[in-house]
Structure 1
């Protein structure tokens, strides 16, 4: 089941964000983030207060994916913050979309993405942007199959560590 997040979900979303961060980037891709950088990133970007703020802000859409009554994933979309010269006010960005490893392959990710994308398309006539880690080829192929094109790159900060990210954009729907 995919549903809009409510204020009471902030702590759960924070825990899911930390779990999926480790499953995806530390364990999955083996990125050797120094512990101090991981801790700084988690405190700044994945804290319950961050999720509470986004849930309360009407400019953001936040969703929870549930399986067997348990929260197992989430998505966040909102105003585009990616550093690109063609970005315009009103453009939106898929900021996060993660599922726990245990439920990947069940179709929840696709439904979560479709739900989030439909919300973004209904909110703004402009471009939709996605930042994706340069080493995540599977995600890049998926987004490209859905009409997103590479528009540039930037460095994503995890503490003082810098990840090379691609900027993808979809225009004209």
Structure 2
């Protein structure tokens, strides 16, 4: 029987999170959405975003919240939140942002993303002082639909850098909810 656990991430999760972040980005954006990132842009981005040292440092940052979903003791999904850094004129770093919500391809369709989102939104409500924010790739309609179901609305657009490549991203916002 498969056991699924949602729990706060620990420092010793850094290697698994680093691997999962890199693999899920490739599965989703390179293989799934077929974004033709040039290798000279993709590889440095993956190292900067999901390298072990970066992941360990972010896990240790008390301003960020991290959660993992485990199946049979293997990390198969994660969510991370923190101070808002999206480039919107109304956005402030004292407001909360969902930084990433990644589910391995092998674990999709099991409700893990929704469970992690619920935990992340609780953290955002408790740790932000205004609207809650999410950046999402403009072509990821499934994610946009999920976030809309939780009250997020499009508030803007921006160019997300993957090296010199720029992804067209939407900025989503929702008004704070009571904790």
TM, length-normalised to structure 2: 0.93
Q: Which residue of 1 aligns with 2:173?
A: 169
Per mean C-alpha deviation after superposition, the further-off stretch among 46-55 and 16-25 is 46-55
Aligned residues between the structures: 173
Name the CA distance, whole Å, in 2 between partners of 1:129 and 1:65.
22
User: Where does residue 57 of structure 2 map in the other structure?
Assistant: 53
Among 32, 37, 47, which residue is 1:33 paired with?
A: 37
Distance 1:162 1:29 in 2: 15
What residue is the counterpart of 1:64 in the other structure? 68
Shift of 1:104: 0.6
> Which of the numbers 16, 21, 37 marks the counterpart of 1:12?
16
Coordinate RMSD, CA, aligned: 1.0
Paired position in structure 2 for 1:102: 106
Query: Aligned residue for 2:147?
Result: 143
Counterpart mapping for 1:70-85 below 5 A: 70-85=74-89
- CA drift of 1:144 comes to 1.1
Partner residue in 1 for 2:121: 117
Matched, 1:130 2:124: no
TM (norm. structure 1) is 0.97
Aligned counterparts of 2:107 and 2:93: Cα–Cα separation in 1: 36
Task: Choose from 40, 44, 54 the match for 2:48.
Answer: 44
Q: Which runs of 5+ in 1 are unaligned?
A: none
Gaps of 5+ in 2: none
2:156 pairs, out of 146, 152, 157, with 152
Between the aligned partners of 2:136 and 2:114, the Cα distance in structure 1 is: 16
Secondary structure of the 2:148 match is helix
**Could you list the runs of 4 or more consecutive aligned residues of structure 1 that deviate by over 3 angstroms after TM superposition?**
none
Distance 2:92 2:137 in 1: 22
